[in-house]
Homo-oligomer: A and B are copies of this chain.
Amino acid sequence: MNLVPGIRLAATAAGIRYENRDDLVLIEMAEGGSCAAVFTQNAFCAAPVVVAREHLAKGSVRYLLINAGNANAGTGEPGLRAARETCRSLADMAGCAMSQVLPFSTGVIGEDLPVAPFAQALPGLLSGLDENHWPRAATAMMTTDTVPKLVSRRVELSSGVVTVTGIAKGSGMIRPDMATMLAYVATDATVSPDLLDEILRRAVAGSFNAVTVDGDTSTNDACVLLASGQSVEVVDLNTPDGQRFSEAVNAVCAELAEMIVADGEGATKLVRIRVEAARDETEAREVAYTVAHSPLVKTALFASDPNWGRILAAVGRAGVDALEIESIRIWLGETCIVSGGGRDPAYTEAAGQAAMAGSDITIRIVLNRGDAVSEVLTCDLSYDYVKINAEYRT
């Protein structure tokens, strides 16, 4: 893990919902940095998302205030008031404008967010800010997550080395749409807000926006990229430096997204669904998501059953115009399982079972209609997904 100059973090047990564990995180960026963020596209976004969007538009972000255990979603006007009040408390103590604080919440939907625990915890959080607290912050954000998610990269640019370090949380209600659960990525590079926004949107498209656990887009998804401006400047994406930096952000986001899916509720397998040779990207994406969301495909994956018929049936119901079954090929790992409208002649059940045995599976679907490609990362559907979601109230 590489520290990011200009970024300090703190976490504490505020008792918002959980007992005896950290549940409140504060991330501080030194003055003069840039911030970019993307949020859920769910029509019913949570109160903190509404407030964070408003504050982000005013620029000069200094603080991210993140609580776990209560999503402050479906809470109407009182929810908005609570989100604003926590920002104001922090701003007053830190001596900045209220709009320089972005609030984030994750946890149960529909319960009022208590503000008293924030007021009590904020002084300690402010005094506890430290460059080293990335792992503690990653842990404090967790809800049904079973592991903290932290990824770090250093990338050498022509004028010096910059760091990109990120943390994320998320395990269920995961089908990010323009963003994901909560992810915070920071760099010490110097990047203008507009360029940072472009870099973030590119990174999110290929990472958080290409994963799904259960198809349920959350009300609270947010991904933030902070650039503290304490290291060399990145000015243009169309230079080797710009590309290298952008790729480092992509890599951190992609790895965090993969960690979210691997930690998907009840997941026993990480499954990459790659659709190739589609007519366009929309079509490729549609097929990939239809397969990724099929409960029958997901339960077959859980059973390590090379049930290609279910994959084929899911492709067939994806709504692709004039799809021809005869020209489709489907691979499980290196094993061709479908060709010519049925089981590939060379396919053996033993080979299929071998391809399904691991915990890391790739399903490749070649439509033979064009050259568009789309890839989605998902997981299987197990008893434990049902158990977790029958017992835990999101």
Contact = CB atoms under 8 A, between A and B. Distances in A.
Interface of A: 41-45, 71, 73-79, 108-110, 172-173, 175, 177, 214-219, 293-296, 299-300, 302-303, 305, 307-310, 312-318, 320, 323, 325-326, 338, 340-343, 381-383, 385-387, 389-391, 393-394
A325 B295 CA distance: 29
A305 B326 CA distance: 45
A175 B316 CA distance: 13
Contacts of A42: 313, 316-317
Nearest to A315: B44
A393 B343 CA distance: 15
Contacts of A45: 316
Contact of A390 (B44, B77, B78, B305): B305
A317 B43 contact: yes
A294 B218 CA distance: 12
Contact of A320 (B43, B214, B219, B390): B43
B386 A108 contact: no
Contacts of A394: 296, 307, 309-310
7 contacts: A43-B317, A45-B316, A76-B342, A79-B342, A108-B309, A218-B313, A383-B383
Given A43-B317, A109-B310, 14 more contacts: A41-B317, A42-B316, A43-B318, A44-B313, A74-B313, A74-B341, A76-B340, A175-B317, A214-B296, A219-B316, A295-B389, A302-B390, A307-B394, A383-B383
A68 to B, nearest CB: 16
A292 to B, nearest CB: 12
Contact of A386 (B215, B302, B323): B302
A110 B383 contact: no
A30 to B, nearest CB: 36
A295 B212 CA distance: 12
A215 B293 contact: yes
A313 B383 contact: no
Nearest to A219: B313
A310 to B, nearest CB: 6
A385 B317 contact: no
A359 to B, nearest CB: 16
Nearest to A172: B296
B110 A308 contact: yes
B386 A313 contact: no
Contacts of A313: 42, 44, 73-74, 109, 173, 216-219
Sort A-B residue pairs by CB-CB distance and give the 5 closest, nearest first. Answer: A109-B309, A44-B316, A299-B389, A303-B390, A76-B342
A305 to B, nearest CB: 6
A308 B389 contact: no
A290 to B, nearest CB: 9
A343 B74 contact: yes
A303 B393 CA distance: 10
A328 B309 CA distance: 40
Nearest to A44: B316
Nearest to A42: B316
A218 B78 CA distance: 46
Contacts of A294: 214-216
